Amino acid sequence: MRLIQRLLAAASFSLIALTASASPADPVEGVDYLKLPQAQATDSGKKIEVLEFFWYNCPHCFAFEPQLAEWVKKRGDTIVFKRVPVGFRESFVPQQKLYYALEAMGKLDPVHRAVFDAVHVARISLDKEDKIFDFVEKQGVDRKKFIDVFNSFSVQSKVTRVRQLQEAYQIDSVPTIVIDGRFVTAPSMVGAGMRGQPEHALHAATLQVMDALIAKKK
């Protein structure tokens, strides 16, 4: 059983009682977030590292993205924010390489949201390399340069690194947020006590939990 599943199972007996008094501003361990048994090293210096594990094809990641992006802007220089494109199966690899190639070329900010929109609004499949190459070219990215970076050793190394991160944090669903290498939360976790609420309210609550977890570091 994965780490999150084990910890949630252990907390299930007290979930009902705790949820009644829990709030996003004062989150409860085992209900709104999990504390890892062993903290993972971060390379963010004095700033707090925030990781988002995501997948372009995930509708919940797509819905969370606008509010998360605004939250990151407001946090400014107090955090180091990193997205981590998951690779649960081999079929995920092209999109992982898409993300890291765009990042390496300095094209991530203008194209990242366009990828989400293409998949979830325009219903364009971006699971295959040739379709990805066609798409980025239409976004104004040099096709040949992109393909070179896409197939580079550095991009493949980052894909390999994701597997290690997934294992270290026992990631089995997205979107999932990791704070300071110690705390794990997710809209699905926070939402356990917010049944019937619209998704944007659930996301707002998740961001409040993230704020509270960051405050624990200070």
pLDDT for res 7? 45
- Listed residues 131, 148, 170: the one ending a domain: 170
Shared domain check, 35 and 139: no
CB burial of residue 55 (10 Å; 0-12, 13-18, 19+): buried
Q: For 34-64, how does the pLDDT look when each residue is reduced to its tens digit (9 = 90+)?
A: 999 999 999 888 999 999 999 999 999 999 9
Shared domain check, 82 and 180: yes
The average pLDDT across 168-197 equals 92
Shared domain check, 13 and 73: yes
Shared domain check, 158 and 113: yes
Q: For 190-200, how does the pLDDT look when each residue is reduced to its tens digit (9 = 90+)?
A: 988 787 889 99
Shared domain check, 81 and 18: yes
Which ranges constitute the DSSP H helices of 42-152? 59-75, 93-104, 108-120, 129-138, 143-150
Bond prior to 59 in cis (omega within 30° of 0): no
Output the domain CATH number for residue 199.
Answer: 3.40.30.10
Shared domain check, 20 and 2: yes
Nearest alpha carbon to residue 117 among 167, 170, 57: 57
Global pTM exceeds 0.85? yes
pLDDT for res 3? 53
Number of domains comprising the chain: 2
Q: The domain containing residue 3 runs over which residues? A: 1-55+64-86+174-218
**Residue 40 DSSP one-character state:** P
- Listed residues 170, 190, 209: the one ending a domain: 170
